[in-house]
Amino acid sequence: MKKIMIDLDETICSPAYLEEVNKYLNANYRYEDIDTYFVEDVIPLEKREEFLDYFYQNVNVYQNATIFPHAIEVIQELTSKYDVYIVSAFVDKRRIFNSSIMAKYKYEWILKHLPFIDPKKIILTSSKDMVLCDIKIDDKFGNLKGYGETKLLLDHMHNRKYSFQELEEHGIKRVYDWLQIRAILMEGEEK
Ligand SMILES: [Mg+2]
């Protein structure tokens, strides 16, 4: 059985980071307005530390996470054909000690929403390159660059700066939704 690693944030679900940033700034940013990887980049530098203090004390962004259409059903389908791992990074370099709470939130979210995944196949790390899988699904270009025979990049504003050619050089295919992922991995549609 081939192994698949599937990223969590912005691949299976979108945690409510932007809602929290908006609440904190009393603003109304939309995802389309932000083309950087971390939405909190819109917070002025001098307010970032204060935001992180607030964030790590008061917020569980997984409580109101939005699940991408068809993600859960397609992942469940994939488990019939593949050995599926959910692999998610949780270490915030800015707040090493505080980061532990994110591992708890992520683990609980995965258990609740993906109950068909063996808990032993939930990998919370920040070294995704140590996990060697045949197939990778992620929204972060850097996580797809290395090992893997099929590497699918879920399209987002923050990764549109990578050209078709650049992706091709690394054997990465841009995909737009979970139905397309199903077509590629379950129905063998051209990669
Ligand atoms: Mg991600």
**Span 10-38, pLDDT tens digits:** 999 999 989 999 999 999 998 888 888 78
49 and 117, same domain (yes or no): no
Domain count, the chain: 2
In this structure, the answer to whether residues 47 and 124 fall within a common structural domain is no
Taking a 5 Å cut-off on Cβ, the residues next to ion ligand 1 are 7, 9-10, 139
| 190 is a domain residue | no
pLDDT digits 0-9 by tens, 51-89? 999 999 989 999 989 999 999 999 999 999 999 999 999
**Residue 132 is assigned to a structural domain of this protein:** yes
CATH number of the structural domain spanning residue 175: 3.40.50.1000
Distance 51 CA to ligand 1 centre (A): 21
Shared-domain flag, residues 23 and 89: no
DSSP state of 61: T
- The rounded Å distance from CA 142 to ligand 1 centre is 10
- Pair (176, 109) in one structural domain: yes
Task: Report CA(18)–ligand 1 centroid distance (Å).
Answer: 14
pLDDT tens-digit series, residues 131-148:
999 999 999 999 998 899
CB 141 within 8 A of CB 162: yes
pTM: 0.92
Contact (CB, 8 A) for 78 and 24: no
